Amino acid sequence: MTRFFQQFLNFEKIRILKDRFAEKSLFVFMLIFGLALFLIILVLFLRTHPIHTMMTLPNLLFSTVWKPSKGLFGFLPFIAGSLWVTGVAMAIAIPICLLTSLYLVEYAPAKLRELISPLIDILAGIPSVVYGIWGVLAIVPFIKNYLAPLFGISSTGYSIAAGGIVLAIMVFPVIIHISVEILKAVPKDMKDASLALGATKWQTIKHVVMKRAMPGIVAAIVLALSRAFGETIAVLMVVGNVARIPKSLFDPAYPLPALIANNYGEMLSIPMYDSALLFAALLLLLVVLYFNIISRMILSGSKWSSYYYG
């Protein structure tokens, strides 16, 4: 009996040690994952230090002159290009995705929802280069031959409008997926109470469903915004890549991701060029990180609001 009890204690000690080892191992892996982002930011910051010693931050961000051979690195045309393309994409995507999500949740029959959901998943899984090729073959000629002449403008088709349309389609799945889940989470009792008081279905959607789901929808839009701002290949193929500040939708642009993808590794013999491109990467990372933090804050705020106000 004593021997059996001793074996049991030994087995229990081994089990506890294994459990503690597993806990510590998982903590280490979690720590590595958590530190990865900070290490990336730190490395990029250290590699961009040379250009900070040559140019001030305001000159880097707000200068329009981009002449690497002369040591002039003005990022304003690239920042403006990113903002233009992202803004056009979101202006197209937000109303389409929001109305689609409302229809799928509130109006569509179950069979139609079952048909549409896989199509949205397929849209999310298409490689970005395929979107880019489609944009070159379809969107660019459409803008060149039909849309731009409609406004009396001559354009090559490689423009902000082309990049915005392609990018809008790429972020459709992000906004629709999250918005659908947010709208489904609205309590049915709230909708039933509104209908029982005499409100129409659209009034219920407008004043009850949308009001309740708005923080989550805004968070979905912010997440899509961060995805759109950092998209590279598809936009690079259709936007024109001209380093000047665009003045209309039919002008070419040169977003920050396209600048990095086009030039890194090819022109690094020019002094400070490597540091300048890594500064663009750091700037892009910080903007995307900012959007994601804002999204998390909105979602957290909506949870606290739900807690206090039911």
pLDDT at 183 over 60: yes
pLDDT digits (tens, 9 = 90+) for 192-220: 888 888 888 888 988 889 888 888 888 88
Report the residue count for the chain.
Answer: 310
pLDDT of residue 297: 80
pLDDT digits (tens, 9 = 90+) for 34-73: 788 888 888 888 888 888 888 888 888 888 888 888 888 8
List all residues 6 or more positions away from 46 whose beta carbon is below 8 Å from its beta carbon.
none
pLDDT at 89 over 70: yes
pLDDT at 238 over 90: yes
pLDDT of residue 304: 37
Cα–Cα distance between 194 and 204 in angstroms, integer?
Answer: 6
Token pair in block for residue 41: 């930011």
Token pair in block for residue 309: 């106000």
Superfamily (CATH) of domain 76-309: MetI-like (1.10.3720.10)
> Residue 73: enclosing H or E segment and its boundaries?
strand 72-73
pLDDT of residue 308: 32
In 10 A of CB 279, how many CB atoms?
A: 26
> Residue 129: enclosing H or E segment and its boundaries?
helix 128-134
pLDDT of residue 51: 87
Cα–Cα distance between 257 and 22 in angstroms, integer?
Answer: 40
Q: Where are the domains of the chain?
A: 2-47, 76-309
What's the rounded mean pLDDT across residues 158-182? 92
227 to 85, 176, 223: CA distances (angstroms): 12, 14, 6
pLDDT at 307 over 50: no
Cα–Cα distance between 195 and 173 in angstroms, integer?
Answer: 31
Hey, is 302 helix, strand or coil? helix
**Banded model confidence at residue 302, pLDDT cuts 50, 70, 90:** low
Residue-wise over 161-188: b if at least 16 C-beta within 10 A, else e?
Answer: bbbbbbbbbbbbbbbbbbbbebbeebee
pLDDT of residue 198: 85
pLDDT of residue 306: 45
Angle at the Cα of 243 from the Cα atoms of 240 and 248, rounded to 5 degrees: 65
**Banded model confidence at residue 267, pLDDT cuts 50, 70, 90:** low
List all residues 6 or more positions away from 231 whose beta carbon is below 8 Å from its beta carbon.
128, 167, 170, 257
The per-residue pLDDT of the chain, averaged, comes to: 85
pLDDT of residue 1: 53
DSSP 8-class letter at 248:
S
Angle at the Cα of 185 from the Cα atoms of 181 and 189, rounded to 5 degrees: 150
